[in-house]
Amino acid sequence: MLIRYYVRVSSMDQKIDRQLLAYDRADFIYIDKMSGMKRDRPELERMLNDLQAGDTVVVKSIDRLSRSTKDLLEIVEQIRTSQANLHILDLNIDTSTAMGKCVLTILGAIAELDRKTIKERTAEGIAIAKSQGKYKGRKKGAISLRDTEAIKRFKIFYNNGLTKSAIAREFNVSRTTIYKWIKELKRRGIIK
């Protein structure tokens, strides 16, 4: 009986730290960096294929599992068919009951609507900012290892086997900087 934590963000540029920091008891962590509207996600498929009877799938929130009601219900059914459980951290939903299944269906529809609304609002906001000459894209900035929260995030990424390139993207720094951080954190005894 293993705990399998599924983490998803919509793009390579987005950070996964909020989800990783939310749960630290997983036996396995599966991370996808792609839209929740896509059903074909490599790590999701790997996790579903790895499921054994008695395992628990954990997600931070329902929209991390899927942004499509149809796909969400199929994923939940596959989890159930594997005789595994689903735990949604933000809502503490139990999918083994009829009420839990009903609530999950409603929340899936809301998550899909929320995604469409966010997309529309973002596009409208960018269009307005562009028309006013104010849109310059997202700002990037590096994080210092003097920041204890940054060290905590780095340690989680490093200990969970993320590649140097993936960690560099998470912190918006070069891979060379990541190698320097690893050397420094090893010197301090923070990582092995």
pLDDT in tens, 139-164: 444 456 667 777 888 888 888 888 88
Question: C-alpha dihedral over 61, 65, 71, 75, to 10 degrees?
Answer: -110
Give the three-state DSSP class for 63.
helix
- The Cα–Cα gap between 83 and 128 comes to 50
Query: Residue 92 has what pLDDT?
Result: 80
Catalytic: 10? Answer: yes
Query: Residue 34 has what pLDDT?
Result: 87
Residues in the chain with pLDDT values less than 70:
96, 136-146
Query: Residue 43 has what pLDDT?
Result: 95
Classify residue 6 by burial, with Cβ atoms within 10 Å: 0-12, 13-18, 19+: buried
Q: Do 158 and 122 form a contact (C-beta atoms < 8 A)?
A: no
- Active site residue: 10, 35, 61, 82, which one? 10
Query: Residue 37 has what pLDDT?
Result: 81
Query: Residue 140 has what pLDDT?
Result: 47
Query: Residue 15 has what pLDDT?
Result: 83
Q: Do 7 and 64 form a contact (C-beta atoms < 8 A)?
A: yes
Q: Do 28 and 50 form a contact (C-beta atoms < 8 A)?
A: yes
Q: Which two tokens stand for residue 22?
A: 């939310």
Query: Residue 39 has what pLDDT?
Result: 85
